[in-house]
Chain A
Amino acid sequence: MTTDSISRKKILIEIGVFLLITFGLMLTFGWKAFSESDKENVMTGLDMLFYYLTTFSPAIGCIVTRYIFREGFRDDILFPKFTGNFKGYFLSIILPILFGILNFIFITIALGAGFTVKAEGGVLEVAATFSLYSMMTYTAAFILIGEELGWRAFLYDKLEKLTGLHGSIIIGGTIWGLWHIPPLITMGLNFGKNAPGFPITNTCLMCIFCIFGGAMLQMLRRMTDSVIAPIIAHAVIDTICNPIATIFLSQKLAEGKNFQMGICMIISSVLIGMPCWIYMVRQSKDNSKG
């Protein structure tokens, strides 16, 4: 056995252990953690515990695997490296906002909605809602450490060593998408429960979304050599971009159209993720030439 094959085998085992922990936690507790909440079904303390266990499952997987294989965090990935990486951090805010705007434009076109301020309080209410969501970016960033620490700070890097850049984006994105199966089924996350071929279609679409979304986040991770930039970008997507549609679109118009809106989200993610992917390929070529 050559050294190369031994190290490949080690990486494979590492990924296996990581996936076992991450998916084990998600598939055990995810069904209860992401159950559809309504007025009668109030979230209990136990539900909250399950929620944190599942959202932090990639981070738990990463930490445990790194501990088992005595890897530690010597790669310095947890530290924000602001000096010389301004572009990466700037893009970590700009790209998600661009994604949100594109998403909103496509939804407007697809649903024939036009630009209407749904809020009763007009522009002031919209500004207040955005303000509230922008504050939530900080709390969301904390929760998203749980995801990014596992995906961008572990899985994608390991996969890249095994399969190269394209493999890491496609396989990593697919794994990331599959990880969302419990909320996809219980809550109809992003695509709703009325999607044709539910839940298979939803799962496939989520994988596509995660492949291109993952490309964007991985580019930011590589640009800054830190996991902080993807955390910021992910938090901005979750707290500011997604609510854009819900603020501007009338409830009546959007009701039962989750699937169409989900498709619009995928188109936006492809448009944002593709250039990021190409950029990474060029960067890799430049590095190999250098």
Chain B
Amino acid sequence: MRGLIYKDLYLIKSKVIAGSSSVLFIILLMYVVYATVGGKALFPTEMAAVITDLMIVMYVGALSYGYIIKTDTKKEWGFYGMALPGSAKLIVGAKYMTVFIMYLISYLICVLNDLMIGLFFGKAVDMSLLVLMYMLFNLFLNAIEMPLAFRFGTDKAAGIRIFITIVVVLIISIYLLFGNIEWLMAEDGLVKIIIRLIGDNANSGAVSDELQRFINRLTYINYIEMAVFTHLMVFAYYISYRISCKVFKKGVLRDDN
């Protein structure tokens, strides 16, 4: 499997470096601003860390997934893969592992980023749990798409993903129109909090207090739900791998490949 992972990483190397270096350049520029402004920054340390962390996960992790899934999709490679001793499990497993490795790298960069921002602002910042949740959510979305990509090809999988997204957006829209959205629109709801955050962004203390109030409002049930979803997202990635192994052969033998 190690060889297959190296192969995938080698094939996407230049694209990932190009994509990542552009975002890293922006982050470096932000560092220059942070280093100059330091403690007198316009927004709190946590927000500075979150903005850059999410960019890193997006550009290093999620973007790499798009490249990885599009490598070696030809029928001939599929036949060759099935002839290997490990068969489909090896090929599919290597793809899942490579995607995971890229997210792990993005997580590592996020930790380093938090460390740098902590040094600039003079206050330790640890956004690892938030980054993890975001990373796992991305992995979960990839887990839905990957079996489809193996079975129907990457283009059709992208189409199905767009279709699913439209359906989800429709369901959410219907809920927002007719459901109970007090938690979102009430005086202490999420939207009002965000509006207050944006309106008061010059006062870093107020932003931190607002975020703290939001965290305090989370109930025990919310924490349990969060944990259940986190573990389910990890489990979904494994289930997705098993499904991909099952459909790999059919995907190789499909007519449009």
Q: Which of A42, A52, A127, A139 contacts B129 (CB 8 A)?
A: A139
Please state if B220 and A124 are interface contacts (CB–CB under 8 Å).
Answer: yes
Q: Which of A42, A43, A125 contacts B220 (CB 8 A)?
A: A125
Please state if A49 and B129 are interface contacts (CB–CB under 8 Å).
Answer: no
Please state if B224 and A45 are interface contacts (CB–CB under 8 Å).
Answer: no
- Interface: A135 (CB within 8 A): yes
Please report the C-alpha to C-alpha distance between residue A246 and residue B223 in the assembled complex, in whole angstroms.
18
Please state if B115 and A44 are interface contacts (CB–CB under 8 Å).
Answer: no
Interface of A is mostly: helix
Please state if B126 and A135 are interface contacts (CB–CB under 8 Å).
Answer: no
Please state if A128 and B124 are interface contacts (CB–CB under 8 Å).
Answer: no
Segment at the A interface, from B7-15, B22-30, B227-235, B248-256: B227-235
Please state if A131 and B115 are interface contacts (CB–CB under 8 Å).
Answer: no
Q: Please give me the residue from chain B that is nearest to A139 by CB atom.
A: B128
Q: Please give me the residue from chain A that is nearest to B135 by CB atom.
A: A138
Q: Kindly list chain A residues whose C-beta atoms are within 8 Å of the C-beta of B226.
A: 131, 135
- Interface: B237 (CB within 8 A): no
- Interface: B33 (CB within 8 A): no
Q: Which of B1, B122, B123, B227 contacts A131 (CB 8 A)?
A: B227
Given contacts A127-B224, A134-B227, A135-B230, are A45 and B119 in contact (CB under 8 A)?
A: yes
- Interface: B158 (CB within 8 A): no
Please state if B223 and A44 are interface contacts (CB–CB under 8 Å).
Answer: no
Please report the C-alpha to C-alpha distance between residue A92 and residue B136 in the assembled complex, in whole angstroms.
22
Binary contact track A68-84/B, C-beta < 8 Å → 1, others 0: 00000000100100010
| Interface bin, chain A | 20 to 34
Please report the C-alpha to C-alpha distance between residue A125 and residue B218 in the assembled complex, in whole angstroms.
12
Q: Please give me the residue from chain A that is nearest to B229 by CB atom.
A: A135
Q: Which of A79, A128, A139 contacts B224 (CB 8 A)?
A: A128
A269 → B minimal CB distance (Å): 27
Among residues 4 to 46 in chain A, which have CB atoms less than 8 Å away from a CB atom of chain B?
42-46
Given contacts A45-B122, A79-B1, are A131 and B128 in contact (CB under 8 A)?
A: no
Q: Which of B89, B121, B133, B221 contacts A45 (CB 8 A)?
A: B121
Please state if B118 and A45 are interface contacts (CB–CB under 8 Å).
Answer: yes
B132 → A minimal CB distance (Å): 5
- Interface: A198 (CB within 8 A): no
Binary contact track A125-145/B, C-beta < 8 Å → 1, others 0: 101111110111011001000
- Interface: A121 (CB within 8 A): yes
Closest CB pairs A-B (n = 4): A45-B118, A131-B227, A128-B220, A45-B119
- Chain B interface residues toward A at CB < 8 A: 1-2, 89, 107-108, 111, 114-115, 117-126, 128-129, 132-133, 136, 220-221, 223-224, 226-228, 230-231, 234
17 extra interchain contacts, Cβ-Cβ under 8 A, other than A47-B124, A131-B223? A42-B123, A45-B117, A45-B119, A45-B121, A48-B115, A48-B118, A49-B115, A49-B118, A52-B111, A79-B1, A83-B89, A127-B220, A127-B224, A132-B227, A135-B226, A139-B132, A142-B111
